[in-house]
Amino acid sequence: MTLRHFEILRAVAETGNFTRAAERLYITQSAVSHAIRELEEKAGTALFDRLSKSVQLTKSGRLLLEEITPILSSCEALDERIRCLEQQAPLHIVSSITIAAFWLPKILNAFQKDWPDLRVNVDVVSAANAIDILRNGNADIALIEGAPPQGPFKCTLFAAYPLLVVCAPDYLITRKELTLQEFCSEKLLLREKGSAIRDTLDSVLYLAGHTAQPAWTSVNSLALIEAAKAGLGITILPDVLVSEPLEQGKLITLPVQDLLLRNEMYAVHHRDKYLTTPLRALLSHIESTMS
């Protein structure tokens, strides 16, 4: 039996007439008669009493109608929802920590003004983990900083920030521009290997023939800021993270020859992924942060 059989049964029961049921469903009367006959053969009993000018459900027919009514109601509700599945399916974003702290809230505020009922799930992870999650198909889009990933991805540059070399005002006896060699000989307070900030620094130093040997290594940028404020060494962090202690005079920037550091930020999605209307809208909001 098919849903069409059940729709025909309900229409005949409601109209009391095969002809009117056919007109309601935009099919022929013979199609209605054929469907009812098939249902009665399947049930092994009459479902309608054929009266002189109308048809009327038998007791068996009423029992069947009670069974199929919720099924038809559910299917009709699904038919309405199926046209807007894209508007109901949640988006899953994985984001690096810096982007989640300083850019993502503004992006999502603007996006959810246009899509107020759409659920957006966010996981804040390292850039490397973000790409792994995306590669495994467990996220719709990744927001990362640093070098764009290799592989079957489409990467959209949407913002960038400078990395600043900072220390406490009294860390160095004389404030001067350091050479790269002098810089590498200082007490360095650095993010962990694999972080976008550390990868950017290590790449520049490697190309210049130098290697950083940090005194501190931390996954927590705030810990590095506090260590630098305490005069324990030099740290390198995004300008947005150190702007407040710089304004307060608790940190100062330290010039280093040939050490200009900048991290770019990318919205990344699998190049073969189908982009739903909400996902395209989210990408548009992300790209608008460049303006």
CA of residue 277 relative to chain centroid, distance: 13
237 lies in the same domain as 105: no
Same domain for 95 and 131, yes or no, is yes
Looking at the structure, tell me whether residues 150 and 204 fall in a common domain.
no
Half-sphere exposure of residue 8: CA atoms within 13 angstroms, side-chain side:
25
Supply the range of the domain harboring residue 152: 89-157+265-289
**In DSSP terms, which residues pair with 159 in a beta bridge?**
265
pLDDT value for 85? 67
Return per-residue pLDDT of the chain as tens, 291 residues.
889 999 999 999 999 999 999 999 999 999 999 999 999 999 999 999 998 888 999 999 999 999 999 999 888 888 777 777 677 789 999 999 889 999 999 999 999 999 998 999 999 988 778 888 998 889 999 999 988 888 899 999 999 999 999 999 999 877 678 999 999 999 999 999 888 899 999 999 999 999 999 999 999 999 999 999 999 999 999 999 999 999 999 999 999 999 999 999 999 999 888 888 899 999 999 988 765
Pick from 239, 291, 286: nearest CA to 262: 239
- Do 214 and 176 sit in the same domain of this protein? yes
Identify whether residues 273 and 241 lie together within a single domain: no
- Same-domain status, 22 and 12: yes
Residues 153 and 269 in one domain: yes
Q: How many domains does the chain have?
A: 3
CATH number at residue 131: 3.40.190.10
Asked whether residue 153 falls in the same domain as residue 187, the answer is no
20 phi, psi to nearest 5 deg: -65, -35
105 and 145 share a domain?
yes
pTM for the full model?
Answer: 0.71
Q: Based on the domain organization, do 30 and 169 belong to the same domain? A: no
Contact 6, 46 (CB under 8 A): no
Bridge-based pairing of strands 141-145 and 91-95 is parallel
- Same domain, yes or no, for 136 and 272? yes
pLDDT for residue 290: 65
Residue finishing a domain among 36, 57, 83: 83
Could you tell me if 166 and 221 lie in one domain? yes
pLDDT, residue 164, reads 97
